[in-house]
Structure 1
Amino acid sequence: MPSPTAVETLALRVQVSAFAGPTLPAGYAELLREGMGGICLFGPNTEAGEESVRSLSAEIRAASAEGGWTPVITIDEEGGDVTRLEALTGSSVLGAAALGAADDLALTEETGRAIGLRLARAGINLDLAPVADVNSNPDNPVIATRSFSHDAGVAAKHVAAWVRGLESAGVAACVKHFPGHGDTGQDSHVALPVLEATMETLRERELVPFLAAAEAGAASVMTSHIVVPAIDPELPGTLSAPVLGLLRELGYEGPIVSDALDMAGASASRGIPAAAVLSLRAGADLLLLGPDKPTSLVREVAAAIVAAVESGELPLERLQDAVARVDRLLADLTAARQRPEAALDPRFEAHLVEGARRALATASDLTDLPDLAGAKVVTVDTAANIAVGDVPWGLPPDVVVRPGDPLPELPDAPLIVQVRDAHRRPEVGRTVAELHGAAVLVEWGWPGAYDGTGVPRLCPQGFSLPGVAAVTEVLRRSGWGR
């Protein structure tokens, strides 16, 4: 067996952690020099702007280079509702649901390429995207507009196109959340969802986009913290050898990346170090620890991995294989960066707005809008899920109301009321019903069931700046003056 020091280095190599702020803390610089696998960037790391992100990425690479390593630098940049680089303004590209509704594969591929080029310029080499979940449950609280479609075939072709676009820019994709988080009614950040589906259904629905992504050359796949009794009735996917073995059967040879191990679905009952060991033993190769973690946690996880190797609970060969898969990914990325930079179609921005118009038209009532001269915008404000975070959404409001609070004095004018996922939030529906001047409802979330209530509804299928442009066009045609 290698020396304890060598095993500890391997135990660091499989970890990706995160810290707050735009500069690299000294403790994390030391861990990178010792061999830690990399860093995941979140909103607190990126809010100072892209030049700051480039500087931070350079700091991370320099610290790793001192130890002779190449780091993974990763981020959740899905476009649409989930953006870290554009968290202060909103995404400049369409999200998955709008792209799936527009159903223009060239636009989807170009969107992936645009994101890849932006990430590459920022020094990021692995994008935790796209979402390959089929959002077959309209009440899903965490996937929703992050999914390309409720239809497996539509989702599959767009996942493959987005992967091709992203990776053409020399940035690796991490397709998520295997084996599929779409038909669940809970958020694995705060609970342990169960996917009650037969193997036949899984093969006909959940697995279809992942297979398409594998065929498109997706570099890596992220696990989900959900229990799938048809495969493993006890352990969530991230910790389950049968689940991760199924992923290898689909043809993936690259690293399997755990979803963040601080999420309740993975570690609420066992702690992060124990979850890390279980995930490695099951077949995961790169462990995400979650946002804003102390360096002490990285060392605790490394110690747990070393102890598991020494006790025989975790075979050394499994740990070595995990590191080898990550190293091959990094070597492939280095080679990809030597190719000429992929170029964006100069008409891309215009294509985005046209795609936003098509997405809006597929799920909206565009024929019966009332006169909106002098209309005011009322936002019914609700908290986003953890994956989306605290980012802007909707049109700039004139009035903000919160479900359950007394209504403020409202303008004597038609009201453009905007909501998110009202179909699964009864308290939002009750608030909307109290807004007697409501003339138009703009649903920025998943376009779920709607009883009409005599108010026409616009559904841009997720928030983005092109979506704002498309909604604004429609409202102005009915007299809105802003």
Structure 2
Amino acid sequence: MSPERTLIIDLPGPDLTPEQGQLLRTHRFGGVCLFARNFSTPERTARLIRDIRDALEHDALIATDQEGGAVLRRLDIPMPPSLQALGQLNDEAAAREAGRIAARGLIELGLNWNYAPSLDVNVNPLNPVIGDRAFGADAQTVARLGVAWALGSEEAGVLSSVKHFPGHGDTSQDSHLTLPVVDKPLEQLEQVEFAPFRAAVQAEVGSIMTAHIVYPALDKERPATLSPAVLDGLLRRQWGYDGVVVTDATDMHAIADRYPGGEAAPLALLAGADAVLSCGHGDLQTHVDHARALQRALRDGRLSEARVQQARARLDRAAARFPGTPRPYPPEQRQADDAEVDRAALRSLTRSGQTPTLDPGAPVLLIAPASAAVGGPYGDSLSGETLADVLRSHFPQLQVALHDGHDTAGAMALLDHFPQAPALLATTGRWALSRAEQELAGVLAQQDRPALHLALWNADAAAQLPLPALVTHGFRPANLRALGAALVAR
């Protein structure tokens, strides 16, 4: 009985080296999760996946996080809208199609498991990690759209994993960095956090990912990932879920700081999980540590062979149902998916206040951050220069000032040089507004010129600055195309 089959690991780069191949052959892990660093050309990534399967010598689950919006790993295909944008549309058909679009770009290469969508109900504006990854703040809307998205993915051949059970939407801390606590009465959890996951269970969505969060109403000490009360008691016994339960990554500080050396792996299985996501970000020893921790727990009797067999059986059933056989992604389907993504971007764009009409033949000023900070699940962002390049195609006389979040001198000089020109103040970050953004918004609000806030990532920023706003609910190419069209529309 090999408990290592319950581990899903990561790898350092775009190719499988001999050392990594030997590690896979030795431990026969359950599968691999790919991150942005593993994706290169389609041919090379497809070869990586074939090499992984050959080394593991079984029907492996090859996963990634292709959520849409800001959290995407493969970027050379139609990019699904952010869940927040889909929440603006409130259209189950659009959500289902977004799940299919995400899946088509994965199954083309042989990936058969997507850790998406998020079913977190984003009721806390200070939430540092969910934001645009959620369909919204209404539990029933999240349930309807989230289940539609998940089923769309599975119809297209990719196992969906709804997350982060039992809910990451009402935290003000990031479990990548610390251990959050959601201290709410059970009645409130039932009405809000639990509702979308109950719907997913009833719809028989294939897998669920756990949250590294303590819910004292269910378990006063252990995070959900390691809590028998949450996974076995609530999810399995009360709700009757028999799909795959996978943990969020155990390298996240919420887990790794308290259960080092892979010790979270047997605890997660004992709690009711079937798969443990071990991420070393280049450190292969992390996976060996997890494997040894499982072996020790099995050897000393803390972990039973029956529990391991149950977990493996669920993983085997999932791999049989979603075998990962690559499916072609024909050019005409890609074109249709790109058109669908463009339509969603344009339909979800929202306005706040009286937005000015701009003259494409006259000078227009753009003030934007040079770059935006990323972290947690986010891997990339929108640079100010990229935004400027897009807007220049609509406004040939565009004048640009980029700032670092602190120094406003360049932006103030540009405003002084063009005292009548309309100004576009862009916010491109996920996190709190910078001092420069707040200061410049205050200046523009007092000036006698047309001014507009472009909220290109964090939609909540629109309500925090004293300017009319265009909110794109994303910064991907389709969002920028929609923005350009909206700015020149008469």
Q: Which residue of the partner structure matches residue 401 of structure 1?
A: 403
Q: Which residue of the partner structure matches residue 102 of structure 1?
A: 89
Kept after mapping to 1: 8 A contact 2:184/2:217? yes
Greater CA deviation, 129-138 or 337-346? 337-346
Give the 5 Å matches for 1:405-420.
405=407, 407-408=409-410, 410-411=413-414, 412=418, 413-420=421-428
1:172 to 159, 164, 174: 159
2:292 to 303, 306, 324: 303
Q: Which residue of the partner structure matches residue 392 of structure 2?
A: none
Give a deviation string over 1:242-295, Cα, whole Å, max 9, x none.
111212233321221010000011121221411112111111111111252422
Greater CA deviation, 15-24 or 418-427? 418-427
Structure 2 Cα separation of the partners of residues 430 and 338 of structure 1:
49
Q: Which residue of the partner structure matches residue 384 of structure 1?
A: 374
Kept after mapping to 1: 8 A contact 2:110/2:326? no
Structure 1 Cα separation of the partners of residues 139 and 387 of structure 2:
35
Q: Which residue of the partner structure matches residue 116 of structure 1?
A: 103
Q: Which residue of the partner structure matches residue 13 of structure 1?
A: 5
Kept after mapping to 1: 8 A contact 2:14/2:48? yes
Give the 5 Å matches for 1:64-79.
64-65=56-57, 69-79=58-68
Q: Which residue of the partner structure matches residue 245 of structure 2?
A: 256
Greater CA deviation, 117-126 or 419-428? 419-428
Residue 196 of structure 1: how far off its partner (Å): 2.0
Q: Secondary structure, in 3 states, of the residue corresponding to 1:39? A: strand
Residue 183 of structure 1: how far off its partner (Å): 0.6
Structure 2 Cα separation of the partners of residues 434 and 407 of structure 1:
15
Give a deviation string over 1:152-181, Cα, whole Å, max 9, x none.
111111111111110111110011100000
Give the 5 Å matches for 1:203-242.
203-242=190-229
Give a deviation string over 1:353-382, Cα, whole Å, max 9, x none.
332233213xx2264325354223322343
Residue 240 of structure 1: how far off its partner (Å): 0.8
Kept after mapping to 1: 8 A contact 2:78/2:334? no
Structure 1 Cα separation of the partners of residues 328 and 485 of structure 2:
38
Q: Secondary structure, in 3 states, of the residue corresponding to 1:221? A: strand
Give the 5 Å matches for 1:176-191.
176-191=163-178
- State the TM-score, normalizing by the size of structure 1: 0.88
1:23 to 6, 11, 15: 15
Q: Which residue of the partner structure matches residue 321 of structure 2?
A: 332
Structure 2 Cα separation of the partners of residues 291 and 443 of structure 1:
34
Structure 2 Cα separation of the partners of residues 17 and 422 of structure 1:
28
Q: Which residue of the partner structure matches residue 62 of structure 1?
A: 54
Structure 1 Cα separation of the partners of residues 135 and 383 of structure 2:
19
Q: Which residue of the partner structure matches residue 3 of structure 1?
A: none
Q: Which residue of the partner structure matches residue 391 of structure 2?
A: none
Kept after mapping to 2: 8 A contact 1:79/1:91? no
1:392–1:122 CA distance, 2 compared to 1 (3 A): farther
Q: Which residue of the partner structure matches residue 41 of structure 1?
A: 34
Letter in 2 for 1:407: A
Give the 5 Å matches for 1:344-355.
347-355=336-344
Whether 1:467 aligns to 2:450 is: no
Q: Which residue of the partner structure matches residue 153 of structure 1?
A: 140
Whether 1:137 aligns to 2:124 is: yes
Letter in 1 for 2:50: A
Corresponding residue pairs, total: 461
1:71–1:435 CA distance, 2 compared to 1 (3 A): farther
Greater CA deviation, 223-232 or 440-449? 440-449
Structure 1 Cα separation of the partners of residues 326 and 465 of structure 2:
57
1:423–1:455 CA distance, 2 compared to 1 (3 A): farther
Letter in 2 for 1:258: T
Residue 32 of structure 1: how far off its partner (Å): 2.2
RMSD between superposed Cα atoms in Å: 2.7
1:463–1:215 CA distance, 2 compared to 1 (3 A): farther
Structure 1 Cα separation of the partners of residues 439 and 404 of structure 2:
8
Structure 2 Cα separation of the partners of residues 426 and 58 of structure 1:
45
Kept after mapping to 2: 8 A contact 1:16/1:39? yes
Letter in 2 for 1:396: L
Kept after mapping to 1: 8 A contact 2:179/2:253? yes
Structure 2 Cα separation of the partners of residues 173 and 272 of structure 1:
29
Letter in 1 for 2:71: V
Structure 2 Cα separation of the partners of residues 329 and 71 of structure 1:
10
1:433 to 441, 445, 451: 441
1:227–1:449 CA distance, 2 compared to 1 (3 A): same
- State the TM-score, normalizing by the size of structure 2: 0.87
Q: Which residue of the partner structure matches residue 235 of structure 2?
A: 247
Q: Secondary structure, in 3 states, of the residue corresponding to 1:400? A: strand
Structure 2 Cα separation of the partners of residues 418 and 90 of structure 1:
26
Letter in 2 for 1:427: R
Q: Which runs of 5+ in 2 are unaligned?
A: 389-399
Residue 346 of structure 1: how far off its partner (Å): 7.0
1:375–1:85 CA distance, 2 compared to 1 (3 A): same
Kept after mapping to 1: 8 A contact 2:10/2:33? yes
Give a deviation string over 1:201-253, Cα, whole Å, max 9, x none.
11111111112222333111100111111111111111111111212233321
Kept after mapping to 2: 8 A contact 1:155/1:209? yes
Letter in 1 for 2:274: D
Identity of aligned pairs, percent? 34
Kept after mapping to 1: 8 A contact 2:427/2:455? yes
Q: Secondary structure, in 3 states, of the residue corresponding to 2:451? A: strand
Structure 1 Cα separation of the partners of residues 97 and 483 of structure 2:
22
Residue 388 of structure 1: how far off its partner (Å): 1.3
Q: Secondary structure, in 3 states, of the residue corresponding to 1:466? A: helix
Give a deviation string over 1:390-432, Cα, whole Å, max 9, x none.
3446762344312224533553343322214678436364343
1:182–1:239 CA distance, 2 compared to 1 (3 A): same
Structure 2 Cα separation of the partners of residues 459 and 425 of structure 1:
15
1:348–1:45 CA distance, 2 compared to 1 (3 A): closer
1:72–1:272 CA distance, 2 compared to 1 (3 A): farther
Letter in 1 for 2:34: L
Structure 2 Cα separation of the partners of residues 291 and 431 of structure 1:
41
Q: Which residue of the partner structure matches residue 283 of structure 1?
A: 272
Residue 91 of structure 1: how far off its partner (Å): 6.3
Structure 2 Cα separation of the partners of residues 108 and 345 of structure 1:
17
